[in-house]
Structure 1
Amino acid sequence: THVTFTCNTQQPGCNNVCYDTFAPVLHLRFWVFQIVLVSTPSIFYIVFILHKIAKDEKLNGQRAQMVAQRYPQSRCGRIGKDGMEVLKVDMPTYCHYREDWDAKEREGVEQSSLEEDGGKVGEDPTQQSNRVLLIYILHVLLRSVMEITFLVGQFFLFGFTVPQLYRCETYPCPTRTDCFVSRATEKTIFLNFMFSIGFSCFLLNIAELHYLGWVYIFRILCSACFTCCSHERDTIRLYSNHNALLLQLRHSLRSQLAL
């Protein structure tokens, strides 16, 4: 801190100016600012995914309610004392044949409701899956850029070591002044620790992008740039069948949207 940074001079203001030159930004404040900014893309991505899941659950509830209103599962009779079903005269007779649906009929009802809701959404599940993947890739790229930016900034501001003796030649110091830094070894250890943590996070981001596939990333970014020009673009051919992570993301999103 500024209190433990002492210079061998009695010139007013020299101590403050030398400390400002030695440490333009306090280490702790710089690291807090770094953590907040680097975490921001991930926070926004999580909020986006939670909002999308809530929206999909709401649409699924509306579809289930629509199916229940179209085809009510009501019994046509009541059970008598002898255990036999007694038919009512005022109930339609065809409902006994509609009580148990087969798999094809249920699939047809769900598909019709999905097509009707597709007009409200305006997109098919493949396009929505590509949008989620695009936002995920952009958030990883933005996080990587922030990590490398803070690493470069930390290097130019502090370097890799904190010296025990700092020689200051800044006005209003009359001559070259020697200033002594408190706990320089401890600050050097934490400085290198934060360097290693930031560089490790950057390598993890690069590994994550490499696992997704660089060819697929470039293709989906290019397709996002030309989406407004070609609305009927075949997005399925951009799909990589050899990527387990993309398969899992797409299948999970399609299952959520097709319910």
Structure 2
Amino acid sequence: MDWKTFQALLSGVNKYSTAFGRIWLSVVFVFRVMVYVVAAERVWGDEQKDFDCNTKQPGCANVCYDHFFPISHIRLWALQLIFVTCPSFMVVMHVAYREERERKHQAKFGDSIKLYNNTGKKHGGLWWTYLISLFVKTGIEISFLYILHRVYDSFYLPRLVKCEVSPCPNQVDCYIGHPTEKKVFTYFMVGASALCIVLNICEIIYLVFKRLVRFTNKLKQRHRAVAVRHGDFDHDHEDDDHDSFNNCNVPGSKRELKDKPPSFRKVCQTPYRPSLLKFEPKIRASAPNLSMTS
């Protein structure tokens, strides 16, 4: 298996991961892939040759080995690493899909109009893709741990196993090669897998919590905007009613008072007569004297 190509493919996932995702990727490569390539493959290099039984019956050792080791540890861990890292490619493929859409959109409408502010930002569908990939990775890790626990009885490797499977003539004692070393590596790989599960759960909680905080802040901003609008509307109406009620006794400007006609009471209380009554002497003076002298 070419782990360098595998690492090159996963290096793009680090760009779009959170802090927990980067730690998870480091744990996968340093504590799982490196240990697998450097040490684990050599320990389980040819474990069937190291499986010795105290009989020379043809086929007995092979059948007993298949009975106690139906799935090799090293091949099971290789499958686990492949299946665990595959969901991360969902995020890379989604980002590539966004970039292709952005390229087509800019080619059609110009570079000034963007379809995405940032194609790698976890919003909308990419957020759901990232969250689903975390759930899938967690489920795969738990499934492989369950398989390993189910097959090898709590990850324990005994030094001696007793086999009674045909074609063995009777109960045969078989010995596992390097049992302590294999046990240490088994516990180490199980612990690294459990650590990856914890990191995935922490990242899920972080993403959901961050999304809830953002959603809550948006709701608060909307409520504040609506409250400010209602407050301004009510304040304007209250000011208008207050001014119209309280300004009934307040004299208006000089121009307003000048334009208004005088009241009837004021006209009656003036010591002079209106200018219309002053025309009476003139009318009498201009009338001809019709009195006849006697």
TM-score range, shorter chain: 0.5 to 0.7
Q: Deviations over 1:37-70 (max 9, x none)?
A: 11111012212212212321332343226x7xxx
- Counterpart amino acid of residue 183 in structure 1: H
**% identical aligned pairs:** 31
| Greater RCO structure (CA 8 Å; 6+ sep) | 1
Q: CA deviation at 1:214?
A: 6.4
Unaligned runs of 5+ in 1: 68-109, 118-124, 218-236, 243-259
- Counterpart amino acid of residue 47 in structure 1: M
Q: Deviations over 1:191-241 (max 9, x none)?
A: 001100110110001001111226969xxxxxxxxxxxxxxxxxxx99353
- Counterpart amino acid of residue 196 in structure 1: G
**Distance in 2 between residues matched to 1:241 and 1:146, nearest whole Å:** 35
- Bigger drift between 39-48 and 187-196 goes to 39-48
Q: CA RMSD, aligned part only?
A: 2.8
Match of 2:62 in 1: 16
Aligned pair in 2 of structure 1 residues 190, 169: CA closer, same or farther (>3 Å)? same
Match of 1:249 in 2: none
Q: Alignment partner for residue 57 of structure 1, among 103, 115, 118?
A: 103
Q: Alignment partner for residue 161 of structure 2, among 150, 161, 166?
A: 166
Answer yes or no: is 1:187 the counterpart of 2:182: yes
- Counterpart amino acid of residue 156 in structure 2: T
Q: Deviations over 1:158-195 (max 9, x none)?
A: 23221111111212212111001111111101100110
Q: What stretches of structure 1 move > 3 A for 4+ residues in a row?
A: 214-217
**Distance in 1 between residues matched to 2:90 and 2:129, nearest whole Å:** 10
Unaligned runs of 5+ in 2: 1-46, 219-294
Match of 2:215 in 1: 239
**Distance in 2 between residues matched to 1:157 and 1:52, nearest whole Å:** 43
**Distance in 1 between residues matched to 2:169 and 2:209, nearest whole Å:** 58
Give yes or no for contact 2:53–2:61 (8 Å, CA) kept in 1.
Answer: yes
Answer yes or no: is 1:29 the counterpart of 2:75: yes
Match of 2:51 in 1: 5
- Counterpart amino acid of residue 149 in structure 1: S
Q: Which has the larger radius of gyration?
A: 2
Give yes or no for contact 2:94–2:126 (8 Å, CA) kept in 1.
Answer: no
Could you tell me the TM-score, scaled by structure 1's length? 0.58
